[in-house]
């Protein structure tokens, strides 16, 4: 599935992932492929991304963390809060 993390200022990450852990308002939760459509609010905390490195080399995948974690199968970063929408096997995180 595709994960896209954007902030008002920049694109943080865009790429194929297998598993994402997000800091929900009621505690952190994970999202796997083929999740049902969902809208959820996030709080301050850590996001953990398991990406499929081999599939994220194309030009359409770009963002701050795409460069920083080019070859890491898994990486984490913190966000201050946000909204997440899961739809059609695509996760959109509007982070802050």
Partner 1 sequence: MANLKEIRNRIVSIESTMQITSAMKMVSAAKLKRAQDAVTQIRPYANKLQEILANLSSSLDISENDFASDKEEKNIVLLCVTSNRGLCGGFNNNVIKATMKLAREEYAGKNVSVLSVGKKANDAFKKTEFNIKGSYLPSHLEELWNDLTFDNVAPVAEKIMQAYKDGHIDKIVIVYNSFKNVATQIVKTEQFLPILPPEEVEGETATANLDYLFEPSKEEIVEELIPKTLKIQMYSSLLDSMAGEHGARMTAMHKATDNAAEMNKDLKLEYNKARQAAITNEILEIVGGAEALNN
Binding residues vs partner 1 (CB under 8 A): 6-11, 24-26, 29, 36-41, 81-83, 85, 87, 92, 94, 96
46 forms bridges with which residues in the sheet?
78
User: Which DSSP string corresponds to the chain?
Assistant: -EEEEE-SS-EEEEEEEEEEEEEETTEEEEEETTPPPEEEEE-SEEEEEEE-GGG--STT--SHHHHHTTT-SEEEEEES-EEEEEETTEEEEEE-
Nearest CB to partner 1, comparing residues 32 and 52: 32
Nearest CB to partner 1, comparing residues 53 and 94: 94
- Least Å distance, CB 71 to partner 1, is 27
Nearest CB to partner 1, comparing residues 9 and 59: 9
- Least Å distance, CB 47 to partner 1, is 16
- Least Å distance, CB 86 to partner 1, is 8
């Amino acid at each position: 599935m595709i994960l896209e993390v954007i902030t008002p200022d920049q694109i943080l990450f865009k790429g194929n992932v297998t598993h994402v852990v997000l800091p929900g308002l009621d505690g952190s939760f994970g999202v796997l492929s083929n999740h049902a459509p969902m809208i959820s609010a996030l709080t301050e905390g850590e996001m953990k991304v398991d990406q499929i490195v081999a599939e994220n080399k194309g030009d359409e995948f770009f963002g701050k963390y795409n460069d920083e974690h080019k070859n890491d199968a898994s990486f984490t970063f913190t966000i201050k809060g946000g909204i997440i929408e899961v739809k059609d096997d695509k996760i959109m995180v509007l982070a802050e």
